[in-house]
Structure 1
Amino acid sequence: MDNEMILLDGFPLTGPAREGVWKRLGELEGWFDSPDPKRKSVQRENGDGNYPSEIHYESRLITFTGRVTSKNHKYLHEAGNRLVALPGRGGKQFVVKGHGPTQEAIVDPRGKVSITFPTDTRMEFQIPLEAVDPFKYGERRFKSVASGASDTVFHRGTVEAWPSVTVSGSMPDGYTVTIGGQSVSVPMGIPSGATHTIDYRRRRLYVNGSLFMGAFGASNFRSVPPGRRTTAALAAPSGSGSATFTVYDTYV
């Protein structure tokens, strides 16, 4: 597609660049598909079938196949040198634009980057990648709520999204964050100038950016369903503050 742009670690794998014209060949394997489901099956010894268990997803396996057409042989090898280094040691951002909402994932190398040179000015390549977090993320949405008040949070993805909540203010007796009627409380006081961040996916609290263990009282972590406004609130027995709820459009 003319408006397609695919980036790995900020470098465009489609379109013109100094080294030549980059183009995707074939399908973007593994990106538009769902990842494989996984579950632990426990057999019913005295009955039919298995006991039901929760279904999760395997890692998302992505393969990008492409071509570079360059104006000379030197630039072609510059493209190859850049290409083999792109996946690095992992933790790279993979972004797909031009196919509906812009989506991204964090990827690691799944195998070697393979390169062939059909001519002195053309290179074909394949990059195998793995997103250990199989979900794809789109627009980031914020909502700030003062203590004693409530508002709604939402996202436009297709599966439930796990929020991150950043709390600040002066609340000496702790505070409680509520999403969709489910509460997470932090009995530890928060002084003026400090920042607490609650990672709902990992169920962790960070104080001024550092992990703090054993901080929660009530811990009913709740995800945000897609396309539906969900009430979010901050309450404190003393003092005052605010909470910023961050939610990404989340897709599978």
Structure 2
Amino acid sequence: MANELVTLDGYPLTGATRDGVWKRLGEIEGWWDSPPPRRQRADRTNGDGSFSTPIEYGNRLITYEGRVISKNHDYLHQAAGILTSLGHRGNTKFLVQGHGPTQWAMVDPRGPVKTSFETDSYLNFQIPLEAIDPFKYGESYAVPGNTTDPASLFHRGTVPAWPVVTVSASSSSGYTLTLNGRQVVVTRAIASTAPHEIDFKTGILRVDGAVVRGGLSTANFSPINPGMPQNMSISTGTGSYGSITVRYSDTYI
């Protein structure tokens, strides 16, 4: 497609670069599919079937195959060198644009990059990747709110998105965050010079960047559901003011 863009660690794997013209071959294996669902089976000893247990997902396995056509053999080898170094340390962004919403995932190498020199001016290649976080993400948001104006949240993904919330306030009695009727009550005092950060997916509280244990009395975390407006509010002690920034991304499976 004319508007297709695929990048790994910011480098384009489609289109023209100094080193040659890059083209995708075939489908991006594992990208459009769902990752494998998994659950711990718990058989009913005195009944039919099994107990219902949460469904989780395994790692997403991705294989990207492409071709590079260069103007000469030297440039072709430069392209091959770029290929073997892309994402070699892991935790790099793989991004696909031009097929509906732009989506990306953080990936690690799953095996060696394979190159095949077909002529002096073009080569075929294969890059095996693994996303240990199987979800794909799109547009990212940073939505502000405070004790008088809740943060207005919405995302266009297909599955719930877990936010990371930064809290700035000055309250010796802590504060309460509310989303979708579920409350996270933080009892640890907060100072204006040491903001709090709460990851709603992991339940980890950080104070001024350091992990803190035991700072929550109620931890009823809720994700941001797709396709519907929601509000997150903050309430603090009497007479005190607090503000929040809610960070999240469109989330897909």
TM-score range, shorter chain: over 0.9
Higher mean displacement: 137-146 or 111-120: 137-146
User: What amino acid sits opposite 2:185 in the alignment?
Assistant: S
Q: CA deviation at 1:85?
A: 0.8
Which residue in 2 is equivalent to 1:87?
87
User: What amino acid sits opposite 1:109 in the alignment?
Assistant: P
Higher mean displacement: 54-63 or 150-159: 150-159
Q: 1:111-144 CA distances to partner (integer Å, 9 max, x unpaired)?
A: 1111110111111100000111111111112321
For 1:57-72, list aligned pairs within 5 A: 57-72=57-72
Q: CA deviation at 1:102?
A: 1.0
Which residue in 1 is equivalent to 2:215?
215
Higher mean displacement: 57-66 or 201-210: 201-210
List structure 1 segments (4+ residues) > 4 angstroms apart after TM superposition: none
Question: For the Cα contact (< 8 Å) 1:154–1:247, is it kept in 2?
Answer: no
1:250 aligns with 2:251: yes
Q: CA deviation at 1:149?
A: 4.0
User: What amino acid sits opposite 1:16 in the alignment?
Assistant: A
Q: Percent identity?
A: 50
Q: TM-score, normalised by structure 1?
A: 0.96
CA-atom RMSD in angstroms? 1.2
Which residue in 2 is equivalent to 1:75?
75
Question: For the Cα contact (< 8 Å) 1:185–1:217, is it kept in 2?
Answer: yes
Tell me the SS of whatever aligns to 1:217: strand
User: What amino acid sits opposite 2:244 in the alignment?
Assistant: A
Which residue in 2 is equivalent to 1:189?
189
Hey, what's the Cα distance between the residues in 2 that align with 1:38 and 1:202?
A: 19
Q: 1:150-173 CA distances to partner (integer Å, 9 max, x unpaired)?
A: 343121110011011110122222
Q: CA deviation at 1:44?
A: 2.6
Hey, what's the Cα distance between the residues in 2 that align with 1:210 and 1:67?
A: 46
In structure 2, stretches of 5+ residues that fail to align are none
Q: TM-score, normalised by structure 2?
A: 0.96
Higher mean displacement: 107-116 or 44-53: 44-53
Hey, what's the Cα distance between the residues in 1 that align with 2:53 and 2:188?
A: 36
Q: CA deviation at 1:214?
A: 2.1
- The number of aligned residues is 252
Q: CA deviation at 1:50?
A: 2.2
Q: CA deviation at 1:148?
A: 4.5
Question: For the Cα contact (< 8 Å) 1:14–1:22, is it kept in 2?
Answer: yes
Q: CA deviation at 1:206?
A: 1.4
User: What amino acid sits opposite 1:246 in the alignment?
Assistant: R
Q: CA deviation at 1:53?
A: 1.4
Higher mean displacement: 148-157 or 53-62: 148-157
Hey, what's the Cα distance between the residues in 2 that align with 1:182 and 1:147?
A: 17
Which residue in 2 is equivalent to 1:123?
123
Hey, what's the Cα distance between the residues in 2 that align with 1:50 and 1:188?
A: 41
In structure 1, stretches of 5+ residues that fail to align are none
Hey, what's the Cα distance between the residues in 2 that align with 1:215 and 1:77?
A: 55
For 1:1-252, list aligned pairs within 5 A: 1-238=1-238, 239-252=240-253
User: What amino acid sits opposite 1:241 in the alignment?
Assistant: G
Hey, what's the Cα distance between the residues in 1 that align with 2:201 and 2:30?
A: 24
Q: CA deviation at 1:209?
A: 1.8
Hey, what's the Cα distance between the residues in 1 that align with 2:142 and 2:124?
A: 42
Hey, what's the Cα distance between the residues in 2 that align with 1:140 and 1:82?
A: 28
Higher mean displacement: 204-213 or 119-128: 204-213
